[in-house]
Chain A
Amino acid sequence: MSYAYMFKYIIIGDTGVGKSCLLLQFTDKRFQPVHDLTIGVEFGARLVDIEDKQIKLQIWDTAGQEAFRSITRSYYRGAAGALLVYDITRRETFNHLTTWLDDARQHSSSNMVIILIGNKNDLVSRREVNAEEGEAFAREHGLIFMETSAKTASNVEEAFINTAKEIYGKIREGVFDISNEANGIKLGVQQSPSANSLSPTTKSFYQNTGCC
């Protein structure tokens, strides 16, 4: 499978908010109501098209419990995007966002794109956090925001893809140093090395030369 870039993502948030289900919905397009508990980290990958470029998303799904932070922290390093997830039916998962955000900012590259996700919005009758509150939090902290449902697949595709678009935009603006893999971005294997000196006008740079 060839791709022009690979972006590394990490999914974080309290236990039970639906991180693994979001990943499964995105990579396998299915919902598993009772998902095995995540121990440590799990992994998934999928190709997406952004502005006619094939981009591979390499996604790390982490355990939510506090004790696991010492393991999951090391996965922030080298992530280009983070999905910070809370559960709209459990206020406490929203209240913990600041801690998660602090942790993410402290251990990641400053350019990491973060999307805030209010998951389980199919459970309207049990809602404890309004969309406006999510939006306000996102605005205040400079995050993208979306409500999703891993169950109905609503907005799941969009959440992952919008994050990729934002990262891609940053690459075009030259914000990301793509020669440094610590930023969570990798060029497709046979991409010309000279393209590392980023110039949006260099047409060949955006051409997907592909790899194995």
Chain B
Amino acid sequence: LIETDAKSLNSISNNSGHSRKSSDTSQISLTSGTSSLQERERCEDGEEDNWTVWGKIANDWDAYKKKSNYIKDMVRKGIPHHFRGIIWQLLCDAHNSPEKDQFAEYIKATSACEKVIRRDIARTYPEHDLFKEKDGVGQESLFNVMKAYSLHDREVGYCQGSGFIVGLLLMLMPEEEAFAVFVKLMKDYRMRDMFKPSMAELGLCMYQLENLVQELMPDLHNHFNSQSFHTSMYASSWFLTLFTTALALPTACRIIDVFLSEGMDIIFKVALALLQMGKEDLLCLDMEGMLKYFQKELPVRADSDPEAVMNIAYNVKFNAKRMQKLKKEYTVMKTKEQEDMVELRRLRQETGC
């Protein structure tokens, strides 16, 4: 077990420079590579105890899961990479989910989404060792899990973006287990609503984030407005791929550790933490400058010190009631928009234009 884990740790840090636009991948990869090396060195000195602790947690999960505050604190400190594969399954309760048994049936069946899934396989982590080989083991596994999910949930079927989450799971665990975790993420962590055909949940998250920015960083919000810089321009992928396409994988893993234990709130908190880190720079930039900043400088800064990002994120406070209120507002707004669209269509048909 340890051996395969060590291999996957290497594969993550070697390829941590995964970036959306590869023009300066080398720079990103260098920075984040260094940071995970440091992490590994730290592991060798003081982390022996940490390993023992996580070993106990993994072995005696039923007892530990009742100490929810303890687990929450431990997860916030970061799960040692060797343990991620197993702990992620435990955190979302996928380890003994019945879906795992359905997987074998699904991969024997045929899905209507196969063609479109195939088309995206090579475009998911194209620079990562596990996935870069055409029709290699990684690409086949990714195809199998995506196909299985499309059969498991016919309403969502396959949605672009979800492959990056599954890809990361496959770096940590075998196909059946990755499938079971993905099913949980979709069902119990709002991701299914995110990927449903209308992507209504994503729209809601954008609306909620925009309002949080307005509340917590009014100057930045005004600047975004003056530049016609919309939330979806920088934050869509943060929510859809849980930062796996925006930040280096070691950073994304830290975020997903907490996501599995605390849910969607951490995505908002990290989003606000990143904005806070970049605020002074962003205020001096025009729209184009900001877009580039979100693509390049900000990820480099975040990946050079994931610990700092997480600590800022943990200190972000927003209240659940406010989020609920925003949700109501958004729903009312959307319903009205839809009614207007129906009316508009009716008028167009009547007047014949």
Q: B161 touching A74 by the CB < 8 A rule? A: no
A65→B202 CA distance, assembly (Å): 15
Q: In the complex, which residues of chain B have a beta carbon less than 8 angstroms from the beta carbon of A58? A: 288
Stretch of B237-245, B255-263, B323-331 lying at the A interface: B237-245
B288 touches A37 (CB 8 A): no
- Is A28 positioned at the interface, with any CB of B under 8 Å from its CB? yes
Chain A nearest CB from B343 CB (Å) reads 14
> In chain B between 296 and 337, which residues have their CB closer than 8 angstroms to a CB of chain A?
none
Distance between Cα atoms of A40 and B194 in the complex (Å): 12
The reply to whether B120 and A28 contact each other, CB–CB distance below 8 Å, is no
Q: How many residues of B contact A (CB 8 A)?
A: 35
Contact across chains for B288 and A45 when beta carbons are under 8 A apart: yes
Q: Tell me the total A-B contact number using a CB cutoff of 8 A.
A: 77
Contact present for B236 and A70 (CB under 8 Å): no
Give the most central of A28, A42, A181: most B CB within 10 Å. A42
| A42 and B20 contact, Cβ closer than 8 Å, known pairs A70-B198, A71-B232 | yes
* A199: Cβ under 8 A from any B Cβ: no
A162 to B201, CA, bound (A): 39
Contact across chains for B126 and A34 when beta carbons are under 8 A apart:
yes
Q: Mark B268-311, 1 if CB is under 8 A from A, else 0.
A: 00000000000000000000100100000000000000000000
> Is B119 in the interface zone, CB < 8 Å from A?
yes
Question: Quick check: B241 and A39 within 8 Å, CB to CB?
Answer: yes
Decide if A66 is an interface residue (CB 8 Å cutoff). Answer: yes
B124 to chain A, nearest CB (A): 6
Q: CB-CB < 8 A to A16: which residues of B?
A: 119-120
Chain A 58-87 residues near chain B, CB threshold 8 A: 58, 63, 65-68, 70-71, 74, 78
Question: In the complex, which residues of chain A have a beta carbon less than 8 angstroms from the beta carbon of B195?
Answer: 67
Name the residue on B nearest A65 (C-beta).
Answer: B160
A139 in contact (CB, < 8 A): no
Give chain B residues whose Cβ lies under 8 Å from the Cβ of A15: 116, 119-120, 160
Q: In the bound complex, do residue B199 and residue A67 qualify as a contact, i.e. CB atoms below 8 Å apart?
A: yes
In the complex, A42 Cα to B197 Cα: how many Å? Answer: 21
Check A36/B232 contact, CB under 8 A, given A58-B288, A70-B198, A70-B203. Answer: no
Which chain A positions have C-beta within 8 A of B116?
15, 65
Closest A residue to B123 by beta carbon equals A37
A45 contact set on B, CB distance < 8 A: 288
- Chain B's nearest CB lies how many Å from the CB of A5? 15
The answer to whether A74 touches B160 (Cβ under 8 A) is: no
Tell me the bound Cα distance from A107 to B123 in angstroms. Answer: 29
Which one, A34, A68, A181, contacts B160 given CB within 8 A?
A68
Contact B245 A39 (CB under 8 A): yes
Distance of A63 Cα from B116 Cα, bound (Å): 13
Which of B20, B119, B291 has a CB less than 8 Å from the CB of A36?
B20
B residues sitting closer than 8 Å to A (CB atoms) are 20-23, 116, 119-120, 122-124, 126, 159-161, 163-164, 195-200, 202-203, 228, 230, 232-233, 236-237, 240-241, 245, 288, 291
| 6 A-B pairs closest in CB distance | A40-B236, A37-B123, A39-B237, A34-B126, A65-B160, A16-B119
Return 6 A-B CB contacts under 8 Å, by A number: A34-B126, A40-B236, A65-B116, A70-B198, A70-B199, A74-B232
Task: Supply 14 further A-B pairs (C-beta < 8 A) apart from A70-B199, A71-B203.
Answer: A15-B116, A15-B119, A28-B23, A36-B20, A38-B160, A39-B160, A39-B161, A39-B236, A39-B245, A65-B116, A65-B160, A67-B197, A68-B160, A68-B199
